[in-house]
Copies of this chain bind each other. A is one copy, B any other.
Amino acid sequence: MIKKQYLMIPGPTMVPERILRAMVREMINHRGPEFTKILTAVTEGVKKCFKTKNDLFIIPSSGTGGMEAAVVNILSEGDEVLVLNIGAFGSRWTKILKAYRANVDEIKFARGTAADVETVEKKLKSKKYSAVFFQQNETSTGVLNDVQSLAQVIKKYDTLIVVDAVSGLITADLRTDEWGLDVVVAASQKAFMLPPGLSFVSFSKKAWQYYEKSKMPRFYWDFKSMKDWADKGQNPFTPPVSLYYGLEESLKMIDEEGLENIFERHKKLRDITRDGLKKLNLKLLASDDVASCAVTAVFPPENINADDLRKKVKQNYSVVLAGGQEDLKGKIFRIGHLGYCLETDIMVSLDAISKCL
């Protein structure tokens, strides 16, 4: 039987044929002028997506590697840090920070809600933190944090702001410089419409001041080394060349559609998805005011197991949905609607879910 897959998970996302084809090119010397040209151009292109003039590093790693790089370049063992945990990727910040022996305080918000600005400010008043870590978009719950308001408050306390925008970037506006975000992390396999394998991290002047004092051990993730090599138009270590070819094409497509139009498309996809699910009488994890533009988390009807439903939808219609993480494992399913995703993909997905229920 032939199949036609609809990959409706929040990453890896579907890759347009244009990008797949762009990746089919012979290797080149990563220390030669041809590669320098590509590296320079894609770095500028990714900066535009971050809305930043800060340094930006492209790292051969998954998104989590970018998060680890963000941690080890600004902190020392024992530093006091705060994590705003609204889901599994908030917990990931905590795990990385604890692995490197920072002193972590965590505010855990109910799953399906965003970080509450007043609660955060109260905590910041009670103790001096070196840095605050949170998500733009929490992939595990489908919640979009109000990054701008959070940043506005955190900045008052002379604290570094570190944002994991891996699943959120390009699905919703994020203004790194205007909002004063010191370190922002993204990755290739989300709204950049690329296969996984690259992470992106922007690093502010203030973050560089932290770098100077930071004593956490680092080599592969060291931003100073990346900067020194970038000044020569190269990477410290061999870059995943084929993904750079894909990134060139991805940035062209983003430029053609326009960032603001892409934000609008993602908003529309989110609204269509949520409307359709509500019409099926399904309960959504996040309320409308904090709903993610990248992924929607849904409870199945009470008598139905989320993972059984996912299996059936996949078997019958090749629509691939994501499951729940942490406490939500087996209890919810998630529909990714980011990157190379259009209304027609949502139409198929909703209809497939409806028919399988």
Contact = CB atoms under 8 A, between A and B. Distances in A.
Interface of A: 5, 7, 9, 11-15, 20-21, 23-32, 60-65, 68, 95-96, 99-101, 187, 189, 195-197, 216-220, 222, 236-243, 320, 322-323
27 contacts: A7-B26, A9-B29, A11-B238, A12-B28, A12-B238, A12-B241, A13-B27, A14-B26, A24-B24, A27-B195, A31-B323, A32-B320, A60-B60, A60-B61, A60-B197, A61-B65, A61-B220, A63-B237, A63-B238, A64-B236, A65-B237, A96-B220, A101-B217, A195-B242, A197-B240, A197-B242, A242-B243
A11 B61 CA distance: 18
A196 B238 contact: yes
A239 B197 CA distance: 7
Contact of A219 (B9, B100, B220, B240): B100
A95 B219 CA distance: 8
Nearest to A218: B99
Given A62-B240, A99-B217, A101-B217, 6 more contacts: A7-B27, A7-B28, A7-B29, A12-B28, A65-B220, A240-B243
Contacts of A14: 26-27
A260 to B, nearest CB: 26
Contact of A62 (B20, B195, B217, B238): B238
Contacts of A9: 29
A268 to B, nearest CB: 23
A28 B11 contact: no
B20 A240 contact: no
A20 B245 CA distance: 13
Given A29-B7, A64-B237, A320-B29, A216 B217 contact: yes
A241 B26 contact: no
A216 B236 CA distance: 23
Contacts of A96: 219-220
Contacts of A222: 99
Contacts of A15: 26-27
Contacts of A64: 219-220, 236-238
Nearest to A30: B12
B26 A196 contact: no
Contact of A195 (B12, B65, B236, B241): B241
5 smallest beta-carbon distances between A and B, as pairs:
A197-B240, A62-B237, A99-B219, A195-B242, A12-B27
Contacts of A101: 217
B23 A242 contact: yes
Contacts of A195: 27, 240-243
A65 B267 CA distance: 38
A322 B32 CA distance: 9
Nearest to A98: B219
